[in-house]
Structure 1
Amino acid sequence: MRLSSVVAVWLVVLIGLTFGREVHAQAVSAAQAFADLSATAEASADNTAENSTGGLASILARQRCLTGYTFDGSQASLGLNVNMTSYKLFNPDTNAFDTVSMRSYNGCPAGPTISVKPGMRLNVTLNNRLPPESSTTCPPNPDPSVPHCFNTINLHTHGMHVSPSGNSDNVMVSVAPNASFAYRYDIPANHPAGTFWYHSHNHGSTAIDVSSGMAGVLIVRGTRTAAARASNGGIADIDTILHRKERSQPFREHVMLFQQIEYGCFENAAASAPLADPVTQAWVCPQGSVGEIRNYTNQLNFVADPRPGHAGEVNSTWAISGRYTQINGVVQPVFPGVASYVPAGEIRRLRMIHGGNRDTINVKIVRANLAALGINDSSALSAADVDSATRTAAARLAASHGHAQQTTTLDALCSGETVKQLEIAVDGLTRSSIVEKDVNTLDPGYRSDVLVAFPRPGLYCILDEAANAAATINFRRNSATVKDRRLLSFARVGPGNNIPDYSDDGLGHSKYWQYVRNQLVDANQNLPRDVLADLNRLDTHVFAPPRVTDGVPAKTVSDTFDVDASSGVPHFVINNRLYDMSRIDYTGTLGNLDEWRVSTTVAGGGHVFHIHVNPFRVTDVLNASGQSIYDSTGACTQAEIATGDTQYCTQRDVLRDTIFIKPGYTLVLRTRYEDFIGQFVMHCHILDHEDQGMMQNIAIVSGKSTSTPNAPNTPGASNVPKVTTPAWLANNPLLGGLLAKLFGSTSSALDAALAASMCGTKR
């Protein structure tokens, strides 16, 4: 963004505060506005128009932290500064804001959204401005099963099909405090469009970084049409059909980055356990204290549960803490804002990214019970009615302290019609057909792109729905049995075009499916005849990535994820082995198709399988009895449906890069190693498990060789990029401190805007 653009944005903000939007926002001032991370002009306009409390400084900080980057050329550059940042997070338990000090990108609760295109080179300079390491947390030869080096970082582009070597997506790089590293990502010209993300991936500190908020969204935007797919190698992008009939305007999109910031406040500088309420054991932050993430032992862990009613259980510190999942750095925001609405019937694209680490999120959209809010529900609600509903619902939730009271309030308020989500892409990759979901289950690392249209004006609840704990990442033997219900966001829907009550089509499709289908077909009459016929069934296989996973596998790879507690200390292992950076666990051949069978033990709980560089296709899921959960049509069997957990039922034949493995289940996955040789990793994306050893090294070699190549990132090779503090800076602490003061400050929005301008970036 250029300086002139920054000044113009500030003027828009100030004008907005002076006139009508400010007054309108005060009508629902009990709530927080949604912060849209989409790198689009529409998102920027909404963000600048929203009222922000705290004066000019908070307004400027909001605008700075919600500014994304859209690149259109063949090459683009930007800088990411990593430093400790203080900001405030809303705490629903106290209806107040807690001050936290977290590791961050560019001084913000979430990293900037970066939009690129296939065939582009993306240059990212990663500047580590975190405090120096201590010998206690970062010993010279750390145990790979013990989290370590909390202020040493790198950068991983999750889900991107790019080189894993050299200065590209190389997670063997380590960038120490006061050092920088220049990344260069050459995005293949045939890279699929979709939703991806980036985060730090230095082994030993991945979880503490991501749980601090060090995550950002990376969008690949595509313009390849179905009509021209023959000249584009058979590739077409679903982006090209997601528009309205009128003037072919694209559907409005919203980025939703879900994070779990597991901060605690401490009695003193030496304390390791967060302060907790003596009765509920929920973590508390007294006035004047600052929340932190200090360690993995009492944060980011499973511990004996001290809460009443949980005697004998070993549960996640996330559940015990009482913290809430946030969206784009805001806890329980009002979507799309406290001063705006989504028109009824208008199709919106939600790019949902689970950039957290501590919980499974079950996204469900439910109409609020307006009668319970004292409002006569009708199909012609006014804007004033929606304001009143928002104000009353926010006030009732604010009076509900603690999870139990919040759940009771939500059960009373959020009991109306379920709004279907039509999923168009999984993990950034377009599905071969669009499916509708009542509940969309997201585990750490997942992405889901959905089309949503609200049926009529009113207030809606975007929930993190309750679930059987065995269907979540927080289940182990002797843990709790249920995940409770939470509010992610309230959604305000204003007058528009109500969705008709379509007649039953005899195929089991809801009115939402029929409405979206009709809107897409009407808006895309110029598609090739065969593609339009497919679209009439919401068949989108033309826009899905080519099926490179067809064929006979060359090898079968078996990996079992487990928690070995036989020694009295839990060890997070794969095939009974802890991670060893110098060991290659599996060698594959470029161009080959392999079958991976990944499983978990019942005792070890659930884990999240993620592999870098090449996605995989889910070909089967076997239950604890070794039986497929799918029938001959690819639908879930009645036995699987009877378990009450149907999260795998829409996964057959889906292409993705991250997937949850339920306790006792085996997933059959097929992947082909394309384009790149070198070394990368496979691991559990419950990142504290990875940091404690649940990871393997994978090497892909050319078909001309059967040995592991001396790739640029092979452990032990002399050319491994190990980035350390330059001697001239290490020997001059005064100069280092001065540079940190000059360039590490996050209080000045003008400095940040000028830095972005100097990077040559643009909106």
Structure 2
Amino acid sequence: MKKFFSSPAVKMATLSSFLALVPPLGAAQSSLDARSFDDLSDTPEASAENALSDASGGLGSKAERLQCLKGLNPSGNSGAVKLKVQMGTYRIYNPSTDAFDTVWMRSYNGCPTGPTISVKPDARLKVTLDNQLEANNPPANCPANPDHSTPHCFNDTNLHTHGLHISPSGDQDNVLITVHPGDKPRVFNFQIPANHPSGTFWYHAHLHGSTAINVASGMAGVLIVRGSRPARAGVIDGSADIDTILHRKQPAQPLREHVLLFQQIEYGCFGSASSEVPLADPTTFEWQCPTGSKGEIRGYNNQLAFVPDPRPGHAGQLNSTWVISGRYTQINGIVQPVFPSATTFIPAGEIRRLRMVHGGNRDTINVKFVRANLSTLGLADSQTLSAAQVNAATISAASKLAGSHTKSSQAVALDALCNGEIVKQLEFAEDGITMSAMVEKDVNSMDPGYRSDVLVAFPSPGLYCMLDEAADASATINFRINSMKAKDRRLLALARVGPGTNIADTTVGNHSRYWQYIRDQLVAGNSNLPEPARSDLASLKLRAFAPTIPVDGPVANVVPAQFDIQLPGPTNPIPAPRFVINGETYDPAKVAYTGVLGNIDQWNVSATVLATHVFHIHTNPFRIMDITNAAGHSVFNSSGGCSAEEAATGDAEYCNLQGVVRDTLFLKAGYTLSMRTIYQDFTGEFVMHCHILDHEDRGMMENVSVVSPATAYLQRVTAPLSALTHDTARWLARLRGKDETQVALAGALCTARDYARR
């Protein structure tokens, strides 16, 4: 990949010449410096731009900030990196108070986010995980034999590489191991297959019982697989890497990329060292952090939960503590950052690659870009704004929004400001996997675990709003029966666009001017692309770069997986809600399903009408065959778009998904996902679960095992003998008057499953 990067000197010269357009900063604009966008890309351009800001952001110093933003292993070659799990102190901007709250969080290396790690296909990445957290305290939260439907042992951890197709066993992507505080640092050796597709992936803590509290504290980072395999003449098999065509007209200069890690840090401040109830405003019930306090995440009952909503107008509703808290989604550790920074601009017409990762746990994010209406600020608006005018607009818009301290006033100010032209996103990869064609999107719906790679070009100089668009609650992970009925609109970031090349207002067929402009730029920059990839590119088809999984053969098994929350009631005498898959909570000693290496299985995954969930399976991705609604009707029409029935719901997030390869998917209440997967390359035990991670910690997870055909045959042959062994053990126990359970457990050691593990 080195040849795709221009030198740091060239990049600094470009940035310096552009900064010459910027007038000196005033005091008001200087106050925005702490909210400058921090780019987690590990490219030289990102590092150079990060260094231009003199502010420390939420960290203690500029040096500390830059150290946190420094990528690990940017060459992508085989290498070794270290992640230290420790408590970290930093500040988070709170728009409701226009001030910064100090937080004290579980973290990687003491930073708001984990560092970006790059790796190439066929490389070996050695990651040392050093757990320096305090021992679990109090002991009641970490019993010797924990209930696996109750979160526990919050300071235990491990490491998961979300989306990578690597071995789930041994010292690779094995989430069934535990790294305790004070343990000898654990070394993971991730071997990336030589044919692994390039793309945007991520890593995070994934120990059952503590996953949500760790990830919601910030223990997550972006993992990029950078590829250099070009398209070949006459070949459209998906083996080429999309990276090789995403460059400017000069082949040596890749498109500028930005890494955006979305997180939802559900911190609260407390009245005492033993309290687990966050301090809250007595009228709005939004969580408060008095001066001198530190925000924390202490548990799951009053944070990371659904509770009776105490807010006025919400009587009888069961709502997420995230919604009640009033907290805001952050990007790379910054709430409502100024993008690309408080002192730089994106030139109009310059195509940027956005690697977006939903590393949060508590909310659906509906990403949308719109032009700000500067007339509402009393400013002139045109297609030829100067850098000075964009500076003035940024200061005015930020001041206007900062003066709105209630959710209702914020909504009014945001609606008045952010109502201009929608800037289309051209999405080309979902969950790190390049799709067969680029898709134009007004709104890009992302749920926990999702990744989305898009190309964006802003049409003219000005100020733009990056929004988390409003939605009906049924289209979000916060939907519950008797929950609030809508997701409100929020500002994610303000984007500053300076003079450049304005995009002409022309269209091609059913496509927007953004589609045409980006298509023309890519075609012009890839004149040597062989056929048929070049002809494909003229219509933004990407078949040469879109990996497929071979699931068109015979289906070995159909596997049902229904996600449900069982509630206490007269007909269900349970003490608390149960988070189940197929009626069962997680049992770490049980393999819920065993697949056979090389087999194709169809999984029918559903959510009951009570709630929404997010399905994720490790190791092997899946191809979406169909999605049906609560009436059993497909959401797709004959051309693969959304049916009229689904379109009438107003939710278009499923509309381009037929045939797409994913590893994570949102399940609307009452809907069923039909997907096919093939178990390739690796045997071993891994998990599937709900990626609303507190659901997982409360039991919504299953172990899945993949065995070789020989082992599968052995299991079938020995199954009758295993059953006889168990029956004999029970008969002997009754005869001898011993504990049947203990004898049966001893007999179970001789089963085929345990034999296969040995």
Q: Does the CA contact (< 8 Å) of 1:30 and 1:394 recur in 2? A: no
Residues 77-96 of structure 1: CA distance to partner in whole angstroms, max 9, x if unpaired?
A: 01100001111111111111
The residue that corresponds to 1:724 in the other structure is none
The residue that corresponds to 1:754 in the other structure is none
* Runs of 4+ more than 6 Å apart: 19-22, 708-711, 714-720
Secondary structure (helix, strand or coil) at the match of 2:25 reads helix
**Which of 67, 74, 79 matches 1:76?**
79
> Aligned letter for 1:160?
L
Q: Does the CA contact (< 8 Å) of 2:60 and 2:90 recur in 1? A: no
**Which of 196, 199, 202 matches 1:197?**
202
Secondary structure (helix, strand or coil) at the match of 1:246 reads coil
Tell me, yes or no, if structure 1 residue 118 matches structure 2 residue 121: yes
Q: Does the CA contact (< 8 Å) of 2:613 and 2:691 recur in 1? A: yes
Worse-superposed segment, 241-250 or 454-463: 241-250
Tell me, yes or no, if structure 1 residue 584 matches structure 2 residue 586: no
Counterparts in 2 of 1:634 and 1:49: CA distance versus 1, 3 Å: same
Residues 435-480 of structure 1: CA distance to partner in whole angstroms, max 9, x if unpaired?
A: 0000000000000000000000000000000000000000010000
Counterparts in 2 of 1:445 and 1:718: CA distance versus 1, 3 Å: same
The residue that corresponds to 1:523 in the other structure is 525
The residue that corresponds to 1:222 in the other structure is 227
Question: In 2, Cα distance between the equivalents of 1:406 and 1:452?
Answer: 27
**Cα offset, 1:549, TM superposition:** 2.2
Secondary structure (helix, strand or coil) at the match of 1:516 reads helix
The residue that corresponds to 1:471 in the other structure is 475
**Cα offset, 1:568, TM superposition:** 4.6
Q: Does the CA contact (< 8 Å) of 1:353 and 1:448 recur in 2? A: yes
Equivalent residues in 2 for 1:244-283, closer than 5 Å: 244-283=248-287
**Cα offset, 1:61, TM superposition:** 1.1
Question: In 1, Cα distance between the equivalents of 2:379 and 2:393?
Answer: 7
The residue that corresponds to 2:732 in the other structure is none
**Cα offset, 1:376, TM superposition:** 1.4
Tell me, yes or no, if structure 1 residue 512 matches structure 2 residue 514: yes
TM-score, length basis structure 2: 0.89
Question: In 1, Cα distance between the equivalents of 2:275 and 2:753?
Answer: 36
Secondary structure (helix, strand or coil) at the match of 2:140 reads coil
Equivalent residues in 2 for 1:476-487, closer than 5 Å: 476-487=480-491
Question: In 2, Cα distance between the equivalents of 1:55 and 1:612?
Answer: 34
The residue that corresponds to 1:358 in the other structure is 362
Residues 350-405 of structure 1: CA distance to partner in whole angstroms, max 9, x if unpaired?
A: 00000000000000001000111222111110001100100000001111113222
> Aligned letter for 1:210?
V
The residue that corresponds to 2:624 in the other structure is 618
Question: In 2, Cα distance between the equivalents of 1:538 and 1:641?
Answer: 24
Residues 568-588 of structure 1: CA distance to partner in whole angstroms, max 9, x if unpaired?
A: 511100000000000000000
The residue that corresponds to 2:578 in the other structure is 571
Q: Does the CA contact (< 8 Å) of 2:430 and 2:453 recur in 1? A: yes
> Aligned letter for 2:588?
M
Tell me, yes or no, if structure 1 residue 334 matches structure 2 residue 338: yes
Counting aligned pairs with the same residue, the percent is: 59
CA RMSD of aligned residues (A): 2.4
The residue that corresponds to 1:668 in the other structure is 674
Question: In 1, Cα distance between the equivalents of 2:581 and 2:255?
Answer: 43
The residue that corresponds to 2:414 in the other structure is 410
Question: In 1, Cα distance between the equivalents of 2:325 and 2:72?
Answer: 35
**Cα offset, 1:246, TM superposition:** 3.0
The residue that corresponds to 1:687 in the other structure is 693
**Which of 39, 45, 51 matches 2:54?**
51
**Which of 538, 541, 562 matches 2:540?**
538
The residue that corresponds to 1:608 in the other structure is 614
**Cα offset, 1:22, TM superposition:** 10
The residue that corresponds to 2:724 in the other structure is none
Residues 674-715 of structure 1: CA distance to partner in whole angstroms, max 9, x if unpaired?
A: 00000000000000000000000000000112167999xx99
Counterparts in 2 of 1:715 and 1:366: CA distance versus 1, 3 Å: farther
**Cα offset, 1:196, TM superposition:** 0.2
Counterparts in 2 of 1:437 and 1:106: CA distance versus 1, 3 Å: same
**Cα offset, 1:70, TM superposition:** 3.3
Secondary structure (helix, strand or coil) at the match of 1:70 reads coil
Question: In 2, Cα distance between the equivalents of 1:393 and 1:691?
Answer: 41
> Aligned letter for 1:191?
H
Equivalent residues in 2 for 1:138-157, closer than 5 Å: 138-157=142-161
Equivalent residues in 2 for 1:311-326, closer than 5 Å: 311-326=315-330
Aligned length: 701
Q: Does the CA contact (< 8 Å) of 1:582 and 1:715 recur in 2? A: no
**Which of 15, 18, 42 matches 2:45?**
42
Secondary structure (helix, strand or coil) at the match of 1:522 reads helix
Question: In 2, Cα distance between the equivalents of 1:54 and 1:258?
Answer: 17
Question: In 2, Cα distance between the equivalents of 1:585 and 1:56?
Answer: 45
Secondary structure (helix, strand or coil) at the match of 1:371 reads helix
Counterparts in 2 of 1:575 and 1:56: CA distance versus 1, 3 Å: closer
Counterparts in 2 of 1:431 and 1:233: CA distance versus 1, 3 Å: closer
TM-score, length basis structure 1: 0.89
Question: In 2, Cα distance between the equivalents of 1:229 and 1:642?
Answer: 42
Residues 277-308 of structure 1: CA distance to partner in whole angstroms, max 9, x if unpaired?
A: 00000000011111000010000000000011
Counterparts in 2 of 1:56 and 1:123: CA distance versus 1, 3 Å: closer
Equivalent residues in 2 for 1:367-382, closer than 5 Å: 367-382=371-386
Equivalent residues in 2 for 1:123-202, closer than 5 Å: 123-134=126-137, 135-179=139-183, 180-202=185-207
> Aligned letter for 1:29?
S
Residues 519-570 of structure 1: CA distance to partner in whole angstroms, max 9, x if unpaired?
A: 1111111011321111101110110113422222111101100000132511
Secondary structure (helix, strand or coil) at the match of 1:577 reads coil
Question: In 2, Cα distance between the equivalents of 1:270 and 1:193?
Answer: 47
Question: In 2, Cα distance between the equivalents of 1:291 and 1:312?
Answer: 29
Worse-superposed segment, 369-378 or 475-484: 369-378
Equivalent residues in 2 for 1:382-461, closer than 5 Å: 382-461=386-465
Worse-superposed segment, 283-292 or 698-707: 698-707
Counterparts in 2 of 1:443 and 1:420: CA distance versus 1, 3 Å: same
The residue that corresponds to 2:554 in the other structure is 552
Q: Does the CA contact (< 8 Å) of 1:30 and 1:395 recur in 2? A: no
Q: Does the CA contact (< 8 Å) of 2:168 and 2:619 recur in 1? A: yes
Worse-superposed segment, 469-478 or 19-28: 19-28
The residue that corresponds to 2:727 in the other structure is none
Counterparts in 2 of 1:206 and 1:229: CA distance versus 1, 3 Å: farther
Question: In 2, Cα distance between the equivalents of 1:110 and 1:228?
Answer: 42
Q: Does the CA contact (< 8 Å) of 2:279 and 2:287 recur in 1? A: yes
Q: Does the CA contact (< 8 Å) of 1:92 and 1:402 recur in 2? A: no
> Aligned letter for 2:662?
R
**Which of 104, 109, 123 matches 2:107?**
104
**Which of 243, 247, 256 matches 1:239?**
243
Question: In 1, Cα distance between the equivalents of 2:105 and 2:492?
Answer: 22
**Cα offset, 1:237, TM superposition:** 0.5
> Aligned letter for 2:660?
V
Q: Does the CA contact (< 8 Å) of 1:581 and 1:715 recur in 2? A: no
Secondary structure (helix, strand or coil) at the match of 2:639 reads coil
**Cα offset, 1:30, TM superposition:** 3.6
Secondary structure (helix, strand or coil) at the match of 1:690 reads helix
**Which of 504, 509, 525 matches 1:500?**
504
Counterparts in 2 of 1:26 and 1:719: CA distance versus 1, 3 Å: farther
Counterparts in 2 of 1:67 and 1:54: CA distance versus 1, 3 Å: closer
**Cα offset, 1:29, TM superposition:** 2.6
Counterparts in 2 of 1:568 and 1:680: CA distance versus 1, 3 Å: same
**Which of 627, 631, 635 matches 1:629?**
635
The residue that corresponds to 1:748 in the other structure is none
Residues 169-224 of structure 1: CA distance to partner in whole angstroms, max 9, x if unpaired?
A: 00011000011200000000000000000000000000000000000000000100
